[in-house]
Structure formats: structure tokens, C-alpha cells
A and B are shown apart, each in its own frame.
Chain A
Amino acid sequence: MNSVNLNSIIRFVVLILAQVLVFSNINFMGTINPYPYILFILLFPINNNRTLFIFLSFMLGLFVDLFSNSGGVHAAACVTIAFIRPPVLKFAFGMVYEHQTIKFNNTEFGNRLIYFSILVFIHHLIMFTLEIFNISNIILVLQKTLFSSIFTIILCALISILFSTKQR
């Protein structure tokens, strides 16, 4: 077992525990919670094994669902962003991604923020749509998506800066 795999396993467990014990109980302004556990999906090493990646994302979402009693909404959202990650990577990082040499620690902060924002927004939109599951409450869905997304993006950016190890 090499260090990349070990790193991923630790991330998986720590992010789920942090999400269900800390971040799901923030309740900022009454109802706004961030969901930074999807950093696991955002920062998963880029390689060719997409089947494993999609399956791991599903498990990640399912565990969070298990803790937060939400059926399968996190699992559905996680699987979707795992599936659409390559096109988003291409859009956000351009040529760097094409050459398969991308390392998240070495990318520009602006590009990374765009990449985070797109995936976080899609994740939250799917999650809240499925959770509320009622077309007449579409305003509520959009409102929750917007506020939670902003919160999540800020937290994801902060965490990724704090824990990044610059490689020279």
C-alpha cells in the first residue's frame, strides 16, 4: 500500500467524521450548513481508474446519508459530480490537465476556485432538489443551494490552502 492510497483512506474517514460531527451542526443563521466532505472528490488524485473513483464517491455519499438520515441524496449528488469531473477539470485548468501532469498543490489559486465552485454548486443543487423533492418549493431549493454553496466554497478553499504542502 503506497502513501497515495493511505492518504486517500485517511481523508475519506476524517472528512466523513468532520462532516457529521462538526459541519452538519454549524447551523449558521438557523439553517445554513457547509458540506466540505466533497473535498475528497475534488482533490482525488487524477488517474485513469474512473470506475473505482465513482464507486468511492458513492460510498462517501452513502456514509454521510447514513449519518444524516437523508435517504440517498448525498450519494446521488456525489456520484454525479464524480462522473462530470473530467470535463470540469478540462474547463478549469485547460492545457495543464490535457497533459495529465496536474497536481492540485501546484495549480493557480484562481483556477482552483473556479473548479471548486462549479462542482460544489452542482453537488448542492442536486442534493437540495432531491432532499426537498417538491417543484413548488423551487425558490427554497435555489436559496439553500446559493447560501450553502458560498459557505462550502469558502471552507474548501481555506482547508485546501491550510493543508497544502508546496512541492518545490
Chain B
Amino acid sequence: MQQIINFVIRNKTFLLFLLLFVISLGLTIQSHSYHKSKFINSANFLTGGIYESASGISDYFDLNEQNDILIEENNRLRSQILNSSDTITIASSSIDSVTYNGRYKIQSAKIINNNYASTKNYLTLNKGENDAIKEDLGVITSNGIVGIIDNTSNSYSRVLSILNTKSRINAQLKSSNHIGSLKWDGKSPATTVQLTDISKFAPVKEGDTIITGGQSTIFPKGILIGTINSFALDISGDTYTIQVKLFNDMTNLSHVYIIENLDTEEIKLLENPIDE
């Protein structure tokens, strides 16, 4: 017994190092599995508060640019309203104001921290559970998608960016209904993501538009993502891997919209009935 205590005292530095190293390894491994990184995240009052006050200062520098973006978006929406009243072309396209009514709730939020340099990127928003923000809501801007909310606190929430190797988003070609999943390989620059698992029979063309598919409950169908930059068949020869150039400039984001599908619970209940 005496010897064990002596051993511990003699090697206490090494043992402490080992303990702390194992703790941090555990936290790392936990953060690599989706939906488990509960403890270490930037959506808490300390980090959120510091980021918010810092972004309060830096926000003033791009007010002009944000105004231009808003005017452009207003312009587009107004022309859609005016044109939809006398033609029915807009109703057949994916952005249909009639079906959106009631099914989706949209809230605006401000980005207080944006990362795009690492392989696992997250954003922090200034809204949280107090504003009825929950996990698994979609986040978009007027140009396209940004990511999915994966962690919330009372007044902040964290977004799993599409520039994160853990992110998987259901997407499809605009010209046909072939679906695939949108990923990021961590190596390409912040303007490019990959669309995988598109069937080899799909009519893929450079310059075509990629939109979100309606297969998940997170994003409605038809949210813009980007255009096809280049594409190649997989090694197996069955599916395409497409390099998608994003419409969004992920390095310059400020205001976002959070989309909530009000039917999510009903759809989930239908798909996964509770066993009795």
C-alpha cells in the first residue's frame, strides 16, 4: 500500500497529464459523433455573450453591404408577387407562396460568430430556446442554405455549417428529380461542396442548378444551393460526384433565416410509429 501511494506521489505529474489528456480525447471523440457534443460548444452564455458584444462592434462596418443585399432581396420578392397574380408560371415552380403558408415558420437571426477555416465549421446565432429555436431547424440566407441548428442554449444557438465534414443534406438537381446527399470533404475551398450519390442515369450538365430535395423535414424543397462546377463518375461507376459552387458566400454572412417545418412531428410520428 505504502508503495502504491509512493508511486502515485512520485509520478503525480505524469498521472495528471494522462488524466487530462484522456479527458480531452474523450471530448474530441464525442464531438466527432453527430448530436453528442453537448458540453463544449459556443452556444452558452459566456462565449455567446462575448461573441455578441464583439459582433456588435464589427457589424457597423458592413451596414452598407447588408442594405444592398436586403434591397436586392426585396426587389426579387416584389417582382415575384407582382408576376404571380397574373400568370401561373410561378405557382408551378418550387417557390410557391400558397403551400408555404402555414407549413413553415420563418424567423430571422444574426450570426455572431462564423468559422470556415477548419474542417469542422460551426456558426453561432444570437437566438436560442427563448425564441423557440430547436435542434434540427434549417438555416438559410436569401441566396441559399447555410446549415442546420445542432445545439441551443437559452439565448444562443449553434449551426452545423454545410462546410463541416459531418454535415449531410438532402439535395437534388433542379432539372430532374435525382436526389443525392450534399457533403463537404474538408479540403476544397469555402466556395465548393460535393454532391454525391447522384445516379449515373441523371442528366448532369455543367452550370445546372442544385436545390434542396423535399425528402427531409428540415429544408423545404427548392431552396437554392449552387451550380454544378464539374462532375465525375465514382470509382464504382454507378454514381456521380458533383462539385457544386455555392450561391452563398460562406465567408461573408451576417443575417440568416431559420426555417421551422411545423409538420415535422407529424411526419416523424408517421415514419417511426411507437412500438407497443
Interface residues in chain A, defined as those with a beta carbon under 8 Å from any beta carbon in chain B: 17, 20-21, 24, 27, 30-33, 50-51, 54-55, 58, 61-62, 65-73, 75-76, 79-80, 82-83, 130-133, 137, 140
Contact = CB atoms under 8 A, between A and B. Distances in A.
Contacts of B25: 72, 76, 130
A131 B32 CA distance: 9
A55 B17 CA distance: 8
Nearest to B164: A69
A22 to B, nearest CB: 9
A27 B187 contact: no
B41 interface: yes
Given A33-B117, A69-B41, A58 B24 contact: yes
B189 A66 contact: no
Nearest to B41: A69
A75 B20 contact: yes
B50 A17 contact: yes
Interface of B: 12-14, 16-17, 20-21, 23-32, 37, 40-42, 44, 46-47, 50-51, 54, 115-120, 122, 158, 186-187, 189-190, 251
Nearest to B185: A137
Given A70-B118, A131-B118, A30 B189 contact: yes
Contact of B28 (A27, A80, A130): A130
Nearest to B123: A69
B28 A79 contact: no
Contacts of B37: 69, 71
A51 B189 CA distance: 42
A129 to B, nearest CB: 10
Given A67-B47, A132-B186, A51 B158 contact: no
Given A131-B120, A132-B119, A50 B13 contact: yes
B117 A79 contact: no
B189 A75 contact: no
Nearest to A133: B32
Contact of A69 (B24, B42, B187, B190): B42
Contacts, number: 116
B33 to A, nearest CB: 10
In the A-B complex, the 10 residue pairs with the smallest Cβ-Cβ separation, listed nearest first, are A71-B31, A72-B27, A72-B24, A75-B24, A76-B24, A69-B122, A71-B28, A83-B17, A72-B28, A58-B20
Given A54-B17, A83-B14, 16 more contacts: A17-B50, A27-B251, A30-B190, A31-B118, A32-B117, A51-B12, A54-B13, A55-B20, A66-B44, A67-B47, A68-B42, A70-B40, A71-B40, A72-B27, A75-B24, A76-B21
A51 B13 contact: yes
Contacts of A133: 28, 32
Nearest to A79: B20
A55 B13 CA distance: 10
A84 to B, nearest CB: 9
A135 B190 CA distance: 22
Contacts of A80: 17, 21
B40 A69 contact: yes
B119 A71 contact: no
Contacts of B115: 24, 68-69
16 contacts: A30-B189, A30-B190, A54-B16, A58-B20, A58-B23, A66-B44, A69-B120, A70-B40, A73-B28, A75-B23, A76-B24, A76-B28, A79-B21, A130-B28, A132-B119, A140-B119
Contact of A140 (B24, B46, B186, B251): B186
A71 B32 contact: yes
B187 A140 contact: yes
A50 B11 CA distance: 11
A78 B113 CA distance: 24
Contacts of B23: 58, 72, 75
